[in-house]
């Protein structure tokens, strides 16, 4: 049995989203058990509770030896505000766990990976459980937790370490105490709801701050707002341009992003967890 704790380090989810995930797990994944922290449904302005409440809930889940996995309920913005304090207070039980999320929760995945705490995994989150496409993305995570690698990003070759981030999240992490050493990694990035000029700006920043990578892959870039004038380059043109400027091999596309096609990307070199 895999015991999965769910907390919300950024923004809240609803009871309907909780019910949808519980129904999916009960019907299709009897080897998993999900437990939602009450904090997932609280609200303090934009956030799922204030910083202290979100930090406390995360530590409740991470430091409890009864759980094997901590699954972040939703992104949205906010996990960066508690990430440093969280990794500083995690215990030996946390170091044996798998942590799953993406988007804004990439701040936490990065901090955990830097600190060598558990296994960071880019994967879809419980918030998506009410749509069929979202359920399919969630199934990939649940299958991976059970040892099935069919939902992993297909370019992973098992010989080169990898990491995956939302582009703006990675750009904001660079140069901060949350940034892990990504030297020799294949880094995958995706983005949602940003103008193409903003994507170019983020790549400019990363081109000057990333270490020597094994390569970069571009995931989905979706819901791009219309600008008053065309930027003149596509998202892939932008990625290629800045990779060339930085001397980073551009390796093509990846199946990650804010879409139902979002695949699982374990950080580093990782196999699915073994549970008894």
Question: Both 142 and 58 in a single domain?
Answer: yes
Q: Is residue 157 part of a domain?
A: no
Q: Is 225 helix (H, G, I), strand (E, B) or coil?
A: coil
For residue 25, tell me if it sits in a domain.
yes
144 and 236 fall within a common domain: no
| Domain CATH code at residue 29 | 3.40.50.10740
- The answer to whether the predicted template modeling score (pTM) of the entire model surpasses 0.85 is yes
Q: Is 24 left (phi over 0), alpha (psi -120 to 50) or beta?
A: alpha
Q: How many domains does the chain have?
A: 2
Q: In what order do the strands lie in the sheet with 215-222?
A: 162-166, 186-192, 215-222, 250-253
Q: Note whether residue 212 is domain-resident.
A: yes
Pairwise CA distance, residues 115 & 110, whole Å: 9
Token pair for 249 = 């091999």
- Answer whether residue 227 is part of any domain: yes
Same domain, 168 and 217: yes
Residue 101, strand partner residues: 122
- Per-residue confidence in pLDDT tens, the chain, 276 aa: 999 999 999 999 999 999 999 999 999 999 999 999 999 999 999 999 999 999 999 999 999 999 999 999 999 999 999 999 999 999 999 999 999 999 999 999 999 999 999 999 999 999 999 999 999 999 999 999 999 999 999 999 899 999 999 999 999 999 999 999 999 999 999 999 999 999 999 999 999 999 999 999 999 999 999 999 999 999 999 999 999 999 999 999 999 999 999 999 999 997 777 654
Structural domain harbouring 42: 2-151
- How large is the angle between the packed helices 132-145 and 15-28, nearest 10 degrees? 60
Question: Do 142 and 26 belong to one domain?
Answer: yes
Question: CATH number of the domain that 203 lies in?
Answer: 3.50.30.60
120 and 37 belong to one structural domain:
yes
Instruction: Dig out the tokens for 77 from the structure.
Output: 């913005």
């Amino acid at each position: 049995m895999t015991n999965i704790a769910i907390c919300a380090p950024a923004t809240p989810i609803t009871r309907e989203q909780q019910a949808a995930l519980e129904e999916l797990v009960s019907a299709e994944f009897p080897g998993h058990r999900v437990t939602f922290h009450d904090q997932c449904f609280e609200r303090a302005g934009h956030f799922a509770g204030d910083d202290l409440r979100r930090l406390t809930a995360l530590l409740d889940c991470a430091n409890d030896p009864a759980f094997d996995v901590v699954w972040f309920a939703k992104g949205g913005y906010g996990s960066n505000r508690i990430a440093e304090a969280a990794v500083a207070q995690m215990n030996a039980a946390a170091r044996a766990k798998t942590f799953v999320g993406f988007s804004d929760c990439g701040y936490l995945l990065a901090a955990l990976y830097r600190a060598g705490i558990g296994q960071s995994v880019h994967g879809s989150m419980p918030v998506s459980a009410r749509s069929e496409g979202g359920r399919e993305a969630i199934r990939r995570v649940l299958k991976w937790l059970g040892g099935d690698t069919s939902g992993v990003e297909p370019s992973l070759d098992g010989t080169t370490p990898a990491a995956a981030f939302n582009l703006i999240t990675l750009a904001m992490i660079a140069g901060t105490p949350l940034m892990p050493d990504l030297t020799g990694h294949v880094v995958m990035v995706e983005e949602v709801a940003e103008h193409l000029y903003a994507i170019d700006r983020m790549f400019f920043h990363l081109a000057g701050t990333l270490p020597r990578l094994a390569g970069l892959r571009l995931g989905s870039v979706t819901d791009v707002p219309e600008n008053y004038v065309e930027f003149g380059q596509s998202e892939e043109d932008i990625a290629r341009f800045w990779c060339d400027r930085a001397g980073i091999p551009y390796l093509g596309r990846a199946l990650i992003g804010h879409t139902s096609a979002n695949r699982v990307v374990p950080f580093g070199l990782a196999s699915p967890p073994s549970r008894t």
